[in-house]
Structure 1
Amino acid sequence: MRICTWNINSVRLRLPLVLKLLDEYRPDVLCLQETKVVDDSFPTAEFRDRGYVHIQIHGMKSYNGVAIISRLPLEGGDVKHWCEKQDCRHVLATLPGGIEVHNLYVPAGGDVPDPAVNDKFAHKLRFLDEMRDWFPANRSKDKPMVLVGDLNIAPLEHDVWSHKQLLDVVSHTPVEVEKLTALQDSLSWVDAVRRFVPANQKLYTWWSYRAADWEASDRGRRLDHIWVTPPLAGSLTGYQVLREARGWEPKPSDHVPVMVDLAV
């Protein structure tokens, strides 16, 4: 089973890139974030034409939105709201074998890493705290689960281009890393990609639009993640981070697809 996550930054605007991914890499399950479209306008026909007939969507106009698109049957589709907001950041469903998939889009948090003056950053921290508490209260680490998405935090030193220079930049601040680690520890989640790429090696999934030449400057961050619970850790057989997709035309996303393969 191949599971892929991608912050697509508008599924309708970048539909040709999504279809290219499906045609060339054939993931069994594709989880998208920032779909930026209401459910009734989601381009389901194009996915179904390619055999991805099982779709769970949770969208809103021009903002946020998540979707699970699958060639495999999906059961128990549901959505979860956080921080008393109806902002379409979490959709979940169950795959064959009882594997539950959670697709999440964590708030970015704005630019100022101070919750006292930045409501967006305060929202992000509260969002992480709620997830940390909800998962162990409602799920067991013995349940086979996959958590994917744009978590908007690069937790490790080599998940960013410069650890020292980004310590006070939102997405790599100590408080964010602490809260993401607490979430990971809450169910003993395993960082699937870092099972294959040692923590002392640089690894990015996002490059800013602000860079004149993103590839030459290579100032990336690893914001997109795939985690699995312990029952699935031994089933991981491979990964891919499609760095080349940052240059796909037309109009690439600033994020790239991340995939893992599971022998299940």
Structure 2
Amino acid sequence: MGIKEMLIGIKCPRTKKLANCQKCKSPCLPVPLMMSLLSEKEFKPNEYHLTELSNPLRITYLQRKYNYMVEIQDVENVWIGTAIHYYISQFKSKDYIADPDTAGKVEVDKGIFITLTPDLYDIKRKVLYDFKVVKTYEIEKIKDNGLDSKYVYQLNGYREFKFPDAKKLILVFILKDYTIKTRYEKGINSPFVEVEVPIVEEVKDELINRAKELHKALTKNKPPKKCSPEENWNGKRCDFYCPVNKFCRELEK
């Protein structure tokens, strides 16, 4: 039996409390749309998705440990991304393996598992793809500062645990805010941007260690260390983008 994620719902834009859209007399959006923003994803206490392990462990720990709400805009990317992934998976090809057939589960220690679901694998060319729905700013950030380490962990983890024959790792960024102006003002010529991720052999051991560390932290009820300046974007993530920041701050009191 799985345990529902600790994300318990969406914060009502009016009351700032947990939204109860089905009973609302004047919903701000159609109820089916609001309900679709939250997935029914479940996890097991001893299974850790590779995406979780690619994020700062303190955030993942707090997301699993505490009930929290999110603003509507916080789940927009995930919502659009889920729809796009589902749509792509409908187009089958003998030369590609797509979600959900890419799913895997690996025991990395006694009773501790890493689960993963790569998006797409090109069998002939041995290319592993992952799709990300982002804003144009993400591409500008990569141009200025290089790839975020979470992408390196994620793509290399997929390769190590599921597709070890992969010779190339490609992130396909889908820019949801792309317009004609983007081409002229930012020099980005398409709403689909491919970025190659370097192959890093030692990622497998690092992910295994992170799974063990997270499992130990959750078992012993002892949070991992605070995010580094790189992980918290020099404080911006803590102040504006972390859904569990209030729990993190309470731990420091």
Q: What is the TM-score normalised by the length of structure 2?
A: 0.27
Larger radius of gyration: 2
Q: Which has the higher strand share?
A: 1
Q: What is the TM-score normalised by the length of structure 1?
A: 0.27
